[in-house]
Amino acid sequence: MTLSSILIQLLNGLAAASSLFLVSAGLSLIFGVTRIVNFAHGSLYMLGLYGAYSLIELFGRTPLGFWSAVVLAALAVGLVGVLIELAVLRRIYRAPELFQLLATFAIVLIIKDIALFTWGAEDLVGPRAPGLSMAVEILGKRVPAYDLLLIVIGPLVLAAIWLLLTRTRWGALVRAATQDREMVGALGVDQAKLFTSVFFVGAVLAGLGGALQIPREPANLELDLAVIADAFVVTVVGGLGSIGGAFLAAVIIGVAKAFCIGIGSVTWFGVEISFSKLTLVVEFLIMALVLVVRPYGLLGKPQAAQRVAAEPAPPFTVPSWTFALVWLALLIVVPWVTDRYAAILLTDIVCFALFSVSLHFIMGPAGMVSFGHAAYFGIGAYAAGLLLKRVGLPMEAALLIAPLVAGAFAIVYGWFCVRLSGVYLAMLTLAFAQISWSIVFQWDSVTGGSNGVFGVWPSPWLADKTVYYYLALTLCGAGIAFLWRVMFSPFGYALRAGRDSPLRAEAIGIDLRRFQWAAFVLVGALAGLAGAVYAFSKGSISPSTISIAQSTDGLVMVLLGGVETLTGPVVGAAIFTWLRDVVARNTEFWRAVIGLVILLIVLLFPQGLVGGLKALAMRWRERHA
């Protein structure tokens, strides 16, 4: 590489870093004050981009039209942020982190469908910035003038936020609340107003980040999750709640990615490595390195303790044998007496039941919230498909080895994950899942890219849908029974103990991280089994099996049934799978429906259906006792 091409990549990276910084700064600011990780921040970015596109069309492609469209779009997104805060988040500031994350994810789904309804599914390519469409010559290379402007805007916004935080009363309140939100409340500050205003500012930053990208990238519906994954990495690297950290991390990651793209393909020792496809891997490596050296990010601090003590989770009640046998008998008889369709739906349900029970195991008893559980489900599915199609193993062998592959990935991912807790952990699991997804998506020659893998059919003796259902029921049922058994074993109790009090666990000689790591691998392998069984039931695998949406589906299943019950995740998986089947057949906007269901659970049934029904039954019994 020559000096000039290095400079070009540096400028490219800095230009990309500006928008990344704006989104991450907004995310960080909101988190600092409200302790909510706003999943919908990528969606606000997307809205900014779409909004700017429409407004420019309206105002005309003049400098005045362009810039007033950018500013108005950012402000409009700010108002959307206020609306979200008032309608949803205000009600859940005291809820567990998991519910807050899920609620904001529900907003992601709803915004996605609103954007689909408003702007359609096609990518929308915006205009170049009027008056800035020329290029500037630097060291013999041409650099778009607009990129140079973006490079300047990043530090300017950083300076503006810094002034706002250090020179105004509002800024003083924000800093105080970031350090100790309860104390600020106790001192008589109107928290509601403060939170709303912080949400407005954070949302404006996200909207501005999106709107400014209009000359550089087309508006599309995939941006929300792509941007939020990037922003998560940036905030984790920089340190949650630190604006300066967000800037530093955005620059590091923006520049590193630009260099990867700039290097392109390189042949080392006869092996061709395409760096331009490794951008996410590089991001991940940076993050991994930072987390090992500084678990709270480059400029972050350990999270302040919250004084609101959580209620201890009640012990699980074990269902009786008769209860279990009746259900098992029903599951065996139903496909026998009904049609082929029932067997297909039931196969889906048992796969997702194992998926959701394995997720419940890690988030309930082990206390580690995972937003990327689909990684293992998807890796299991892909491993099964690739072992069959590419390696040529018999289907039975592929089905049994696939979980081990998923477990092997869980060994690597888990090693990092058990070092973190709370929202940091949730964001890291999500980042790993997103990385797995992008490898699958980009590695066309092996995984089939966006098309996936086809012809993943079971052996002839399992070709019949009902026979395959019995296999799925046996394998997934055994997996669920095994996990339930482990929950009541010394190993399961050690995990619960570590969740309740890491301090005490350490003081009685328990090496908690090893237990958590082992649990990670265990549930990873079983989620992989669910994925493998699922893959052979469908005959094809698409990248959606490994997507963030698949991960959150799992969370919805667990919460729908109730995280504090043993059987809840199974019930949740059944209802959710059936519901999605029905809704997806009747409307194009099924995501928004799922989103509304999530909001309904979070706001009205925080204990889930099984938990809620149990509470009702208990109240009824007390009244009639």
Partner 1 sequence: MSSAVLQVEGLHKAFGGVQAVADVSFAVAAGEMLALIGPNGAGKSTCFNMLNGQLSPDAGIVRLEGRDIVGLRPRAIWRLGVGRTFQITATFASLSVRENVQMALYSHTGRLRSLLQRFGAAFRPEADALLEQVGMLDQAERVCGVLAYGDLKRVELAIALANQPRLLLMDEPTAGMAPKERVALMELTAQVARARNIAVLFTEHDMDVVFSQADRIIVLDRGQLIAGGTPEEVRSNPNVRAVYLGSVH
Q: Which one, 233 or 494, has the nearer CB to partner 1?
A: 494
Helix/strand/coil percentages in the chain, nearest 5 = 75, 5, 20
Q: Which one, 342 or 411, has the nearer CB to partner 1?
A: 411
Q: Treating both helix axes as pointing N-terminal to C-terminal, what angle do 97-119 and 223-238 enclose, rounded to 10 degrees?
A: 140
Q: Which one, 193 or 514, has the nearer CB to partner 1?
A: 514
Distance of alpha carbon 467 from alpha carbon 470, whole angstroms? 5
Distance of alpha carbon 415 from alpha carbon 407, whole angstroms? 12
For residue 504, the minimal CB distance to partner 1 (Å) is: 4
For residue 620, the minimal CB distance to partner 1 (Å) is: 23
Q: Which one, 137 or 311, has the nearer CB to partner 1?
A: 311
Q: Which one, 426 or 505, has the nearer CB to partner 1?
A: 505
Name the residues that contact partner 1, by CB under 8 A. 311-315, 485-486, 488-494, 496-497, 499-501, 503-511, 515
For residue 343, the minimal CB distance to partner 1 (Å) is: 32
Query: Residue 402 corresponds to which amino acid?
Result: A
For residue 516, the minimal CB distance to partner 1 (Å) is: 13
For residue 524, the minimal CB distance to partner 1 (Å) is: 15
For residue 305, the minimal CB distance to partner 1 (Å) is: 11
Q: Which one, 305 or 337, has the nearer CB to partner 1?
A: 305
For residue 311, the minimal CB distance to partner 1 (Å) is: 7
Q: Which one, 339 or 506, has the nearer CB to partner 1?
A: 506
- Coil, strand or helix at 265: strand
3-state secondary structure labels for all residues of 118-149: HHCCCCECCCCCCCCCCEEEECCEEEEHHHHH
31 close to 37: Cβ distance less than 8 angstroms: yes
Q: Which one, 241 or 367, has the nearer CB to partner 1?
A: 367
Q: Treating both helix axes as pointing N-terminal to C-terminal, what angle do 321-337 and 465-487 enclose, rounded to 10 degrees?
A: 170
55 close to 47: Cβ distance less than 8 angstroms: no
- Angle at 246 (CA atoms; ends 153, 239), nearest 5 degrees: 170
For residue 525, the minimal CB distance to partner 1 (Å) is: 13
For residue 501, the minimal CB distance to partner 1 (Å) is: 5
Q: Which one, 365 or 452, has the nearer CB to partner 1?
A: 365
- Coil, strand or helix at 562: coil
Burial class (CB within 10 angstroms; exposed 0-12, middle 13-18, buried 19+) of 314? exposed
Structure tokens at 300: 């972050």
Burial class (CB within 10 angstroms; exposed 0-12, middle 13-18, buried 19+) of 216? middle
| C-beta atoms surrounding 108 within 10 Å | 26
- Name 454's bridge partners: 540
Looking up tokens 């000039």, which residue turns up?
4
